[in-house]
Structure 1
């Protein structure tokens, strides 16, 4: 994306607390989420921008770097604050990695993170084999070869369904597939795709979604239930990660009650899925007709 101030994107001051930044992100992510703005390219781009802004400002080290250097990507000599480490670059000029540094601030590739020099050995690791553990083996050093390490951010929806991503590595565009059911912290190695034939090691970071909470294999969401439906029973529509479903609300349900939709949670390695837990949030109409007001008065008299 073009240069934009991340604080302005989230609508917070430069001295905003972590809680303020998180709150602002949740509000904007809910407003511009693709599910609520289908076909709106501007909203989709806005959703990506606020995701990039949150990824930087919610990380103390990245925020410190951003506050000091902005989007310029200029680093002081010998900088070792988390994006490049060590003084020996194996014969490479650190300026060659400008695409990586710019990726941290949304300028180099799609939702890229910071990159670090590393010593991981060759061989390609399939991301699907690493779901849930994030481990990468191999410690063979490569002379005059610079391995780099970075992050790739995806939304919770993209991690659930899988997504095709494109990243920029040293001026080269690489395509990769994030499989369905990817977990935060899963890692991918792109063998031989780094500068000088080194490897690129990507850590997947899954952004928070204001609609769902993920714990283990289970998801939790909230659905509004009209008071009459909660009292008399009925059916409400629940948004799931895969679309939508119907939930039968028992007679006399109270606010805060948790109900379960089996098999609507997170994909597992064995092909099954966890469950979706639904919290009931009772609602009453804000604008009542005269007839409705009268009925509520009668109900109040019956059940003081």
Structure 2
């Protein structure tokens, strides 16, 4: 698999700040969002690639790892953390302390296609079992009895599952691959970024699969507590005289009545259109008005705007 430069994907320099990375992601996510590019497979792939790059570069630890070793996940110089592992080292080795590292190096971050958006895979998409990572050390592999009478090693597996903002809002059914097994799970409606899901006994050797949910930013909506914020374009005549505009919500669209004399930047509220609350009900959707004027005026429009200008 060819090297993928996440900085190039987002169009930022390697010294870009967190704010620069976030701004670039929002701009690109809005441009390539599937809702705006229906049926365009290349745009969908680009959107996924942008989300993948942002998931790494927006996390300081992942970014540091990426800057050091790159997308391909090659073995670090001098071996993995703690030194190279030999058969004799296994007795005192606790693989769980390196779980996050191996997830990063071998694609533990979820986001693939086809076989589900979960599991632990190599950069080329091939599923990697825990035995592949640790097998052969000290005669006992993960998820198996090993050789020479070694005991079965039970290991918890940790990973991340990426979902879109809409999927987190509505809830979604997902399939992940762990140690060659396809596992089904349900992401509850109203799930927050950083929430944890536990699949008891589904890991290698009967261990647990622990998933951290990562909610990808949408580019059109900001989530603050239980409230969402978005923006809508309002033609200048509607802002001046009042009227109705269509506002996109996470699940469709709604109508907003704009009062006469509204100015750009004004915030209006659609009650009950925000994020699901733990206590029941939903937060609100705040809509920021963006007053627009036509770039290319017809003769009649120009004449009317000139009259308005002269009256002012």
Class of the TM-score when normalised by the shorter of the 2 chains: 0.7 to 0.9
Distance 2:27 2:16 in 1: 15
Matches within 5 A, 1:116-155: 144-155=153-164
Q: Is the 8 A contact 1:220 1:276 kept in 2?
A: yes
TM-superposed CA distance for 1:183, in Å, is 0.9
Distance 1:189 1:2 in 2: 34
Q: Structure 1: where are the runs of 5+ without partners? A: 81-86, 118-142
TM-superposed CA distance for 1:227, in Å, is 0.8
Which residue of 200, 214, 236 maps to 2:209?
200
Q: Structure 2: where are the runs of 5+ without partners? A: 83-90, 122-129, 131-151
Distance 2:155 2:39 in 1: 41
Equivalence for 2:10: 10
Q: Is the 8 A contact 1:181 1:266 kept in 2?
A: yes
Q: Is the 8 A contact 1:225 1:282 kept in 2?
A: yes
TM-superposed CA distance for 1:152, in Å, is 1.5
TM-superposed CA distance for 1:228, in Å, is 0.5
Which residue of 104, 107, 117 maps to 1:103?
107
With structure 1 as the length reference, what TM-score do the two structures score?
A: 0.78
Cα-Cα RMSD? 3.1
Q: Does 1:254 align with 2:263?
A: yes
Q: Is the 8 A contact 1:111 1:154 kept in 2?
A: no
Matches within 5 A, 1:174-253: 174-253=183-262
Equivalence for 2:20: 20
- CA 1:111–1:21 in 2, change beyond 3 Å: closer, same or farther? farther
1:162-188 per-position Cα deviation (integer Å, ceiling 9, x unaligned)? 222232323333222212211112110
With structure 2 as the length reference, what TM-score do the two structures score?
A: 0.76
SS, match of residue 103 in structure 1: coil
SS, match of residue 106 in structure 2: helix
TM-superposed CA distance for 1:105, in Å, is 6.1
Larger Rg: 1 or 2? Answer: 2
Q: Is the 8 A contact 1:154 1:205 kept in 2?
A: yes
TM-superposed CA distance for 1:299, in Å, is 1.0
- CA 1:113–1:203 in 2, change beyond 3 Å: closer, same or farther? farther
Distance 2:310 2:161 in 1: 59
Distance 2:156 2:13 in 1: 37
SS, match of residue 75 in structure 2: coil
